[in-house]
Structure 1
Amino acid sequence: MFRKSFYQYLMTERNDNSSEPIAKFANDAFFDQSFPKQSQNYQEISNYLELNGSYLPSMTIFDQAWESYLEKMQ
């Protein structure tokens, strides 16, 4: 079974007119050229964001997005 990468899922949450934290995260990640776009690995993406995700005000937003990703991929 094919599962989308986290980035592919996150792009479905993009919305330039939204002030929702996950939509803002998705908008910012879209412009992040180094984002691990093919990854389905929580630790890899989490480590990346901790080092490079200055646009993410809280890792809690990533955790919430990850939970939503897992639910949608089931």
Structure 2
Amino acid sequence: MDRSFYQFVLSYRGGKKDDAKAVFAEAVFNDHSFPKDEKDFDPLSRYLEEKADPEMPSVVFDELYALYKERFQ
């Protein structure tokens, strides 16, 4: 995978307010401590579980990570 998950997820920014992926992407962008260079599922998942931000739910992360893996692996 050439891109980090962070770089991938930012492509969903700017979507509609009722689009869960767009809301997730905006929250990731605004989270200055998000692991921007990470590509692996486990560290990203652990970070999101510990953060427990309602705008970054694990179900949306799982869906986005599956798309990321499909596109870049």
After TM superposition, the score normalised by the length of structure 2 is 0.88
2:14 equivalent to 1:15 = yes
Structure 1 distance, partners of 2:24, 2:10, is: 10
Deviation at 1:15, TM superposition (A): 1.4
The alignment yields a C-alpha RMSD, in angstroms, of: 1.6
Q: Which runs of 5+ in 2 are unaligned?
A: none
Deviations 1:28-67 (A, max 9, x none): 1100000000000100000000011413363111000001
* Unpaired segments ≥5 residues, structure 1: none
- Does structure 2 conserve the Cα–Cα contact (< 8 Å) formed by 1:25 and 1:55? no
Alignment partner, residue 34 of structure 2: 35
Aligned residues: 73
Aligned-pair identity in percent equals: 32
Runs of 4+ with deviation above 4 angstroms: none
1:50 match:
49
Tell whether the 8 Å contact from 1:6 to 1:37 is kept in structure 2 after alignment: yes
Contact kept? 2:28, 2:56, Cα under 8 Å: no
Structure 2 counterpart of 1:66? 65
